[in-house]
A and B are shown apart, each in its own frame.
Chain A
Amino acid sequence: MAARIWTRTIVIALMVASASLALDLGFSRILTDGSLRQLLMLTACNVLVAVSLNVINGMAGQFSIGHAGFIGIGAYTAAIVASQLHVKLGAQTPTLANSFIVVPVALLAAALVAGAFGFLLGLPSLRLKGDYLAIVTLGFAEIFRLLIATADVGAKDTLSHAWSNVRGPGTFFHALSVSLTSLGGPQGYAGPVDQGVPLYAGPFWILTIVTLMVALAWRIKFSGWGRALRALREDEIASAAVGVDPTRYKVTSFVLAAVGAGVAGGLMAMMRDGTPSVQPDAFNFQTSFDAITMVILGGSGSVTGAVLGGVFVTLSIKAIEYGQGTSVIQEFRSHAEWLDLNALRMILYSVLLIALMIVRPEGLLGERELFQKRRAS
């Protein structure tokens, strides 16, 4: 059985890889509109955001509302690594060949750093539940964002000078603050010398990696490991009594969710046709909330549900942004200047979520999956 699954996996992997490679090469010819290309890739990234949040919120039942923090950590890490590598490679226009060096290294770094923070944030989750854990995760994400957004960009010191002068706690903190400053403060990070973050990740990388991560999330769910997570969500004491160690499972699920978010953030930072800088405000509470909306709309605990939720939320955000640009709305707004369609989006989601909670409290799919096979017994 294992061998057959392996063959099938390899065939599917090759198909996805070659299809996305073809798309990568012909993307600008197939879709001439750059914003549309951006939208497609962003949707794929958001699918990964939703799927990774689903591991911790849906499968493990730990309510985290700080997912943006992990996305941001991944985005900054990948942006820094990619920029440095880009300079080493000669700083020419990003090519597909070079992306095979830059993207894997940058994403690996993003995954590792985000995973490390996931581990740190997983530790309090052992003692905290529900609302209390939610507040800790929210605090984490906001601290991360504000540390970068409020960094004093006026400082004159250079990074290497500050770190070589560390002589104790005072100079250490100075060096630390210079490091934060080098991330660009509220203006965002645009590479070491402000030439912009190199945008190496085209459809090939984004589609293959997102597909891979979604497949991994699926396998987690339908393994003994996922079963143990669900059991833990139902009853912690009973799980421990049958040998499922809550500590190990909870912390690991935080790490896995953080790794997924970190990779998603890394892909967003390096996304072709995207903005060549990483802005701290892209990782505010709104981003975390959008991620939660994706998971809850699709159905907590459902991998395919998270995929649907990710697609729906991303498209609806863009649809409203697009609608704002149309002449009808522009005309209307000239009569009613108070009208803010971004605020309208929040109302739309609220109504949608409330309606969903009434009609289908378990979300679109509940915990079920599309394309779920009957278990062979």
Chain B
Amino acid sequence: MTLILKNVCKSFGGLRAVSDVTFSVPERSIFGLIGPNGAGKTTVFNLVTGVYQFDAGSITLGGLCLGNLKPAEIAKAGIARTFQNIRLFSQLTVLENLLVACELQKKAHLFSALLRTRAHFDDEMAMTKRAQELLDVFSLRELADAPSTSLSYGNQRRLEIARAMMLSPKVLLLDEPAAGMNYGEAEGLKTQVRWLRDTFDLTVVLVEHNMQVVMGVCEEIHVLDHGETIAQGSAEIIRNHPAVITAYLGDDDVDAVGGDAA
């Protein structure tokens, strides 16, 4: 399923956070969305996942229009995400964090939970099994019963991805997964992202500042600045694109100190 954004616009009061952004993410690709701070990358994620409503344009996933869907419905449609500032359910254990993401796949609902029917137990067993498999994948199995806040930063990031994967998504949106990672960890992340795509037949969209990760793993890159598209194409094209270099480094010596490229 292809994720397509067409002429998407979003303003907050007088600020045009995203203006006229158009791109399409091919199925099973790893797609990078980059740009300097405040370029509107996370806003695009929030528009795709329904946290914000866009003002104009359209967003579709495999032909399904996401415009009027609520966040929970978009999750059901197959789009899972992680957050820039990790959002785990802090009072819940690691395993429970994953189990929350099963609610919409359940056949048994409140009524059968109250009656404790067979369906309720079958559901719980199946979900727990699936969650434990994913914990194995992200090597968090030993921490299953630990409160999620007790995890290290890197483990919290991995748990957030595992939680998103519980939805069996078709598209996975990762918001700055490499933030706070050192060189070695970032290299590991690159392998993990490719592995996720290959194993789960995913489409991955990556918002990232870490150029080592972006250039290394993304097959196609889309660059935003001040909410507008300034370039798109393969890593090679983006690396040498004059508009991108200007956006990151400024167009004369005076502005150059503001650049924040990694």
Among B16-24, B115-123, B178-186, the stretch in contact with A: B115-123
A238 touches B89 (CB 8 A): yes
| A275 at interface by CB-CB < 8 Å | no
Within 8 A of B (CB), among A212-251: 216, 219-220, 223-225, 227-228, 230-231, 233-235, 237-247
Selected interface stretch from A2-10, A146-154, A279-287, A302-310 = A2-10
Judge whether A377 is part of the interface by a CB distance below 8 angstroms: yes
Stretch from B27-35, B73-81, B215-223 forming part of the interface with A: B73-81
Given A224-B106, A237-B87, A242-B100, does the pair A2, B92 have CB atoms closer than 8 Å? no
Residues of A within 8 A of B83 (CB): 237-238, 241
B75 touches which of A220, A235, A243, A252 (Cβ 8 Å): A243
Contacts of B164 in A (CB 8 A): 241-242
| Interface pair B117/A2, CB less than 8 Å apart | yes
When distances are taken between beta carbons in the complex, the residues of chain B under 8 Å from A220 are 110, 113-114
A216 near B114 with CB under 8 A, answer: yes
CB-CB nearest in chain B for A235: B87
Tell me if A240 and B116 are in contact (CB < 8 A): no
Q: How far is the CB of B36 from chain A (nearest CB, A)?
A: 25
Would A231 and B70 count as touching, CB distance under 8 A?
no
Contact with B along A261-285 (1 / 0, CB 8 A): 0000000000000000000000000
Closest partner residue, chain B, to A6 (CB atom): B116
A216 to B73, CA, bound (A): 28
Of B70, B101, B128, the residue contacting A245 (CB under 8 A) is B70
Which of these, B76, B89, B145, B163, contacts A234 with CB under 8 Å?
Answer: B89
Question: CB distance B91 to A245 under 8 Å?
Answer: no
Tell me whether A243 and B167 are in contact (CB under 8 A).
Answer: yes
Contact present for B121 and A1 (CB under 8 Å): yes
Q: Contact at B109–A231, with CB atoms within 8 Å?
A: no
Q: Which residues of B contact A233 (CB under 8 A)?
A: 91
CB–CB A5/B116 < 8 A: yes
Q: Counting CB contacts under 8 A, is B124 at the interface?
A: yes
Residues B75 and A224 in contact, CB atoms below 8 Å apart: no
Interface residues of B in 87-111 (CB under 8 A from A): 87-92, 95-97, 99-104, 106, 109-110
Contact A241 B103 (CB under 8 A): no
A369 at the interface (CB under 8 A from B): no
CB contact under 8 A between A2 and B99, given known A240-B71, A243-B104: no
Question: A-side binding surface: helix, strand, loop or mixed?
Answer: helix
List the B residue with the shortest CB-CB distance to A242. Answer: B101
**A375 and B87 alpha carbons, distance in the complex (Å):** 25
Tell yes or no: A142 within 8 A of B by CB: no
In the bound complex, residues from chain B placing their C-beta under 8 Å from that of A252 are 110
B144 within 8 A of A: yes
Residue in chain A with minimal CB distance to B98: A242
Let me know if B49 is at the binding interface, CB within 8 A: yes
CA distance A55 to B87 in the complex (A): 24
A377–B144 contact, CB under 8 A? yes
| Cβ contact of A242, chosen from B50, B80, B123, cutoff 8 A | B80
Instruction: Report the nearest B residue to A256, measured CB to CB.
Output: B110
Minimal Cβ-Cβ distance residue in B for A234: B89
Q: Is A367 an interface residue (CB 8 A)?
A: yes
In the assembled complex, the Cα of A2 lies from the Cα of B70 at a distance in Å of: 35
Q: Is B72 an interface residue (CB 8 A)?
A: yes
Contact residues in B for A244 (Cβ distance below 8 Å): 72, 100, 103-104
Distance of A240 Cα from B52 Cα, bound (Å): 12
Residues of B within 8 Å of A234, CB to CB, are 89-92
CB <8 Å contact, B70 and A223: no
Nearest-CB distance from A116 to chain B (Å)?
Answer: 18
Q: In the assembled complex, which residues on chain B have CB atoms less than 8 Å from the CB atom of A224?
A: 99-100, 102-103, 106, 113, 123-124, 127
Chain A residues with Cβ under 8 A from B116's Cβ? 2, 5-6, 9, 219
Distance, CA A223 to CA B104, complexed state (A): 14
How distant is the Cα of A252 from the Cα of B96 in the complex, in angstroms? 21
Name the residue in A224, A234, A239 with the highest tally of chain B Cβ atoms < 10 Å from its Cβ.
A224
Q: Other than the known A219-B113, A241-B49, what 10 A-B pairs have Cβ atoms closer than 8 Å? A: A2-B121, A224-B103, A227-B92, A235-B88, A235-B89, A240-B71, A242-B167, A243-B75, A243-B104, A367-B91
Would you list 11 pairs from A and B whose C-beta atoms are within 8 A, ordered by A residue? Answer: A3-B118, A219-B113, A223-B120, A224-B124, A225-B113, A230-B92, A230-B96, A238-B87, A239-B100, A242-B75, A243-B72
Q: Which residues of B are at the interface with A, using a C-beta cutoff of 8 A?
A: 49-51, 70-73, 75-76, 80-81, 83, 87-92, 95-97, 99-104, 106, 109-110, 113-114, 116-118, 120-121, 123-124, 127-128, 132, 144-145, 163-164, 166-167
| Top 10 A-B residue pairs of the complex, sorted by shortest distance between their CB atoms | A223-B113, A240-B71, A243-B104, A245-B72, A242-B101, A238-B87, A243-B75, A2-B118, A231-B100, A234-B89
**A contacts, CB < 8 Å to B:** 1-3, 5-6, 9, 216, 219-220, 223-225, 227-228, 230-231, 233-235, 237-247, 252, 367, 375, 377
